[in-house]
Structure 1
């Protein structure tokens, strides 16, 4: 019997969650410092932002997070790596709204609003270790991946190529949200997914991390 857990699907085009969006320009709730790639030094491209939503997405004490990625190909800068510095999660506390720092010269991604809708997924099937799973468990995993929302807040990460949960402060980080490349046209390999995580310990200097996997 499936172990069903509630979560929230991220719905493209919905507008019930202010400040939840993909593409365009960041909409700041405080001071946003535009990040540069740690490898090439160029300003990153803005991907998406998610706000703190009590009871659904806990980012406190931050009011919102802003996710960026380097423009250079993965062969130059490791954009998928949560620790390489070719992507960045900028956490912003409430304050005077501003965006500071050099910005990329390229065209931004098309802008989409995002909403949250109640959803469900088979948590047990999605949590299986593919290296030790039986054929039956792998089949259940495939079904669960097809049935779960591709873009969501909460639940279990729906990995494209196997569990790659980043670590911080000596332990695996807590999964917060994932965003599919399509329909937004985001550069996550071949129609991949991006994953947002948070450190489990308070006081971490870099509490949020981002990674992605392509097909």
Structure 2
């Protein structure tokens, strides 16, 4: 996933930032620790079952929307998949409309970044990231993460179990913090976020490591 320039806050595309597109009846997630509204980070396509390529992701049937508390960074266990400091919500793609954004200084990112998806040969993520940078003459920070594939853990494997069926969840995406310090997501400084989904159960999960 690579930086494609700024896009509209309501664009129905793969992006970080902006306003989430949500189904009817949506309630903005609140942090379980501080009770404040979470910050919307990204909307990501979830591949149809059995599909692994970028083209399939482009027509995915679901969207995973990732939220994380930034009201008291570091104090609400926002890195943990089950502590309640973040949420990953899986929605059917059809019929989504812009959410009503609650009041607060930490609900939206400073920039809405469009994401391009480029297929790379099966290789460790950090190697594919470096090869893309060399091939296109662009900085590493223009790589915003990976869609599908295998997570490149900064620490140990923390693949979450689905809260509904208890099976290991499917890896959806790995997110870099962002292109610059002024607009980046907060994953502890140089960290990565990891998004997972269980499409049959319509469940999502998120965590980060640094």
Q: For this structure pair, what is the TM-score category when the shorter chain's length is used for normalisation?
A: 0.7 to 0.9
What residue number does 1:127 align with? none
Aligned length: 177
Is the CA contact 2:38–2:106 (under 8 Å) kept in the aligned structure 1? no
Q: Distance in 2 between matches of 1:52 and 1:155?
A: 12
Q: 1:146–1:171: structure 2 CA closer, same or farther, 3 Å change rule?
A: same
Q: 1:56 Cα deviation (Å)?
A: 2.5
- Structure 1: distance between partners of 2:42 and 2:96: 20
* 8 Å CA contact 1:35, 1:44 repeated in 2: yes
Q: Which residue of 1 aligns with 2:104?
A: 104
- Distance in 2, matches of 1:107 and 1:84, equals 19
- Structure of higher CA gyration radius: 1
In the TM superposition, residue 98 of structure 1 has moved relative to its aligned partner by 4.0
Encode CA deviations 1:95-142: one digit per residue, 9 max, x unaligned: 2624146343337321111111111233xxxxxxxxxxxxxxxxxxxx
1:170 alignment partner in structure 2: 166
Length-normalised TM-score, structure 1:
0.71
Matched with 1:85 is 84
Indicate if the aligned counterparts of 1:44 and 1:103 stay in contact, CA closer than 8 A.
no
Looking at structure 2, the residues matched to 145 and 112 of structure 1 have their Cα atoms a distance apart, in angstroms, of 21
Does 2:75 align with 1:76?
yes
Which residue does the alignment assign to 1:12?
3
Please, what is the CA RMSD of the aligned residues? 2.7
| 2:204 pairs with 1:213 | no
Q: Is the 8 A contact 1:24 1:111 kept in 2?
A: yes
Checking the alignment, whether the CA contact within 8 Å between 1:57 and 1:153 is kept in structure 2 is: no
Distance 2:73 2:106 in 1: 17
Of 16, 23, 32 in structure 2, the residue corresponding to residue 30 of structure 1 is 23
Q: Structure 2 CA distance, aligned partners of 1:70 and 1:58?
A: 30
| d(CA) in 2 for partners of 1:22, 1:76 | 23
The residue number in structure 1 matching 2:33 is 39
Structure 1's consecutive aligned runs of 4 or more residues displaced over 4 angstroms after TM superposition are none
- Shift of residue 87, structure 1, vs aligned partner: 0.6
Q: Which runs of 5+ in 1 are unaligned?
A: 1-9, 123-143
**Structure 1: how far apart are the matches of 2:177 and 2:95?**
31
Q: What is the TM-score of this pair, normalised by structure 2?
A: 0.72
Q: Is the 8 A contact 2:79 2:86 kept in 1?
A: yes
Alignment-derived partner of residue 182 in structure 1: 178
- SS of the equivalent of 2:120 reads strand
State the alpha-carbon separation in 1 of the partners of residues 103 and 57 from structure 2: 31
How far is the alpha carbon of 1:23 from its aligned partner? 1.4
- The change in CA–CA distance for 1:51 and 1:172 in structure 2 (over 3 A counts) is closer
Shift of 1:192: 0.8
In the TM superposition, residue 53 of structure 1 has moved relative to its aligned partner by: 6.0
